[in-house]
Structure 1
């Protein structure tokens, strides 16, 4: 089991981790409105995901190589970790979600996928003995209520096949937070993000070649925020920002905060997606969604305050599990 000295993380480290986690959530959320614009011009979800991850890998890979400083031993030691990260946190999350929405509505699929913080808390409790405190349980409850309101599940129906695919996406998201928190692998954050995206892009490419993930594209410009944007510009933002920046900042947040806090801050992505859809696509959120966003953010704050209290109460010599799968 990976271990880390608790050593009461400095307030500056926690602040930087929170900033990175929010940046990751917001950049991830930008992919939804941009992808919706591409869908309207004839792009398939599989094509959008494949191009997004492949471009992100292409951009981040050189930085990941430079971060190794010529020492490839961390890569050799962590081959299985990189394969798991690429397969679960990148490829499975994307593929399973789009497979789920082919069988059920988007709202329930997202609700299941974004239950990942509860899965992370459960894993850390069962596997590493990190029993959740009252603040964490209260934060989970608030976040769950807020998530239901934001996603507006009125009239939603569940399909067993769709639920199974959505659970697969939830597992992928949970793996993303748990692996990000592994601070003692020797892999620089840039190298972990780059390796994961390279593996993920390769696996998604295999799914496309095998015909399991339909791929169709179009050269038509995209309508966003009342303007007409060239398709290459939308794809560039998708690859560089919503994949490259999002994964790199996500790893940095996980290293500083740990799996549980970063997974809860990741729920900001849901609120940010609603706001960005309003700004870019003109999809005005309802009062219920706005209220849900406030409740969800309150749940995130409760969890963060609870973790902060735990850090202050923990002796500096205590050693804790980092909260990642073995």
Structure 2
């Protein structure tokens, strides 16, 4: 990393998902020694703690197709301002989730500092639903669509500008469960998706090299949004929406290592670690190991 100053921010968000427990993700990742890992790699690390996030029991779900919209919008706005401030200080924001709805705020804050930003979306899902297409109404299935300028205005217009990113600068890696509305949007917008079929046939190295060309073409920054359910549940069991047949532990490390070698990342988030569903904090340990790789850790 060109920027050796890293600021960690936890977002214990679980309003965007149906299953409880992902709010403990930031604590689990910290317990797995993320700060120590980065310090050992030579980074100057500051941990700002967690943002304040309402608990679902304290609020009404609101619209069934956009559950907890008001509360998620407020947290997204605070996260956007936090990431913006971190970037203004010349530091690298590393955001720990929480469910994937936090990407709405992370990307909004990061995009303020780039004329055009690329995004690598490492996930089993597309997260390209809107209130009109979502089967569940859970906003953690909508953040990429929101960042592309699609969805409810309260989320789309966060920060006073939209879209935050453009489809030709977005790559989804590891997809294996897409809703019909997402498939339509992918085709209409020309979003590049590398499914598990593609990874199996091409190999992760080729996928990553092609992905890097896409996200770096005409951009001045790249954001990594990594959902731990992108990995196979055998390697990362502690996630809320596991899907069999995912990216292996070793393939994930290779992807992060190639990304580190490219040295183009300007922000990152690791999301959807759910300690309640985990085995001895195994998934959080995987998250920290991948964070190590993307920040330049090598065997030799």
**TM-score under structure 2 normalisation?**
0.27
- Pick the structure with greater CA Rg: 1
Choose between structure 1 and 2 for higher RCO, CA contacts under 8 A separated by at least 6 residues. 1
**TM-score under structure 1 normalisation?**
0.25
Query: Which of the two has greater strand per residue?
Result: 2
